[in-house]
């Protein structure tokens, strides 16, 4: 909130979207007239009533993001709307997030269908819930799939809200930054695994970044890794495991790749490493953070 305010954005354009708010943060929001926030439990509604009674609006988070946040729309959300009404809190609308890099297009359809159901519930109770936050987590390195997501969302908005006077916003942070960075790592060591006949079966490579650094998000797909070598490379590829640089035996990046026989000093490049990488990295074991180098691609 402080960073956005310092960028010149006024409080009435900021949403305090974390469903679980420390009191000190809530007090800061109140001081700067940041009046819209997100709630997903009755405890947050009581917290708003007690510590920020003059807040203008609350968004009911009606789509679960894993098991940590959100509420079950069919069983919990109507009760939250009724509780908000009894506490004399205004409700601006609904908010959902189907999860980062979600490839289930039907998840967006279901979420917007649920948002319309809650919109109608709010109408019956006298609320003008015309605010719909469709979340984020969109792929930033796959434009073709993003077009499919956009088409699905647009058609679902037309289907479920038609000409209703709603205001739709999104949270496309990942989309903007994911493809902005390519991580380049150097192979610092290797181990070749051979069978009883001495035939090479698999190779382990050790590189200068790992899961305590840029690879903290280990659920990524690294099948598009690129490699660069000044040496002649064989055509044959071998089962490959890539390890990070720390002394932690769990510092493994990936073990299901097939790469040619590379050498110490060769480079591995991982595209689409702009989201949830460097911002989460640490210097565990004294390993320095990667340097950021800017370049301009020539046409």
Could you tell me the CATH number of the domain that includes residue 270? 2.40.37.10
Please say which residue of 144, 177, 210 terminates a domain.
177
Mean pLDDT, all residues of the chain: 88
- Report pLDDT for 185: 97
Q: How many CB atoms lie within 10 A of CB 151?
A: 11
pLDDT tens sequence across 232-288 = 888 899 999 999 999 999 999 999 899 999 999 999 999 999 999 999 999 999 999
Query: From CA 172, how far away is CA 203, in angstroms rounded?
Result: 38
Active site residues: 247
Q: Is position 285 within any domain?
A: no
Q: Is 239 left (phi over 0), alpha (psi -120 to 50) or beta?
A: beta
Contact 259, 240 (CB under 8 A): yes
pLDDT tens sequence across 139-164 = 888 889 999 999 999 999 999 999 89
Please say which residue of 127, 145, 177 terminates a domain.
177
Biggest CA pair distance of the chain: 78
pLDDT tens sequence across 4-31 = 999 999 999 999 988 888 999 999 999 9
Q: Are 233 and 168 contained in the same domain?
A: no
Q: Are 101 and 237 contained in the same domain?
A: no
Please report the DSSP string for 187-247 in residue order: EEEEEEEE-TT--EEEEEEEES--TTTTT--TT---TT-EEE-SS---S-EEEEEEE-SSS
Backbone CA torsion sign across 204, 271, 294, 5 = negative
Q: Is position 24 within any domain?
A: yes
Q: Is position 54 within any domain?
A: yes
Q: Is the pLDDT of residue 74 over 70?
A: no
Q: Are 31 and 99 contained in the same domain?
A: yes
Domain ranges, residue 89: 2-177
CA 278 to chain centre: 14
CA dihedral 143, 144, 145, 147 (to 10 degrees): 80
Q: Is the pLDDT of residue 62 over 60?
A: no
Q: Are 16 and 107 contained in the same domain?
A: yes
- Report pLDDT for 56: 57
Q: Are 133 and 224 contained in the same domain?
A: no
Q: Are 187 and 241 contained in the same domain?
A: yes
Q: Are 169 and 186 contained in the same domain?
A: no
Query: From CA 99, how far away is CA 279, in angstroms rounded?
Result: 19
Q: How many folded domains does the chain comprise?
A: 2
Q: Are 56 and 169 contained in the same domain?
A: yes
- Report pLDDT for 63: 45
pLDDT tens sequence across 163-206 = 899 999 999 999 999 999 999 999 999 999 999 999 999 999 99
């Amino acid at each position: 909130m402080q960073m956005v305010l310092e960028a010149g954005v006024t409080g009435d354009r900021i949403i305090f979207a974390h469903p679980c708010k420390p009191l000190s943060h809530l007090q800061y929001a109140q001081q700067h007239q940041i009046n819209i926030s997100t709630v997903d439990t009755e405890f947050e509604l009581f917290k708003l009533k007690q510590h920020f009674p003059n807040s203008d609006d609350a968004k009911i988070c009606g789509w679960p993001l894993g098991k940590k946040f959100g509420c079950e729309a069919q069983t919990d959300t109507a009760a939250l709307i009724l509780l908000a009404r009894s506490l004399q809190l205004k409700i601006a609308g609904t908010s959902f997030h189907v999860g980062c890099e979600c490839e289930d297009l039907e998840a967006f359809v279901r979420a917007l269908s649920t948002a319309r159901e809650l919109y109608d519930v709010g109408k019956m109770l006298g609320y003008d819930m015309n605010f719909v936050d469709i979340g984020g987590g969109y792929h930033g390195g796959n434009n073709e799939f993003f077009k499919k997501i956009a088409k699905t969302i647009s058609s679902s908005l037309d289907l479920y809200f038609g000409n209703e006077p709603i205001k739709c916003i999104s949270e496309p942070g990942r989309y903007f930054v994911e493809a902005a960075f390519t991580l380049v790592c150097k192979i610092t060591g290797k181990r070749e695994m051979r069978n009883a006949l001495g035939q090479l079966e698999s190779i382990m490579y050790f590189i200068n970044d790992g899961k305590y650094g840029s690879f903290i998000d280990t659920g990524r797909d690294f099948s598009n890794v690129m490699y660069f070598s000044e040496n002649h490379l064989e055509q044959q590829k071998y089962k490959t495991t890539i390890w990070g640089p720390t002394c932690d035996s769990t510092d493994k990046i990936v073990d299901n790749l097939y790469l040619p026989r590379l050498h110490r000093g060769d480079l591995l490049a991982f595209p689409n490493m702009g989201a949830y990488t460097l911002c989460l990295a640490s210097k565990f074991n004294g390993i320095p953070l990667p340097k950021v180098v800017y370049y301009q691609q020539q046409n």
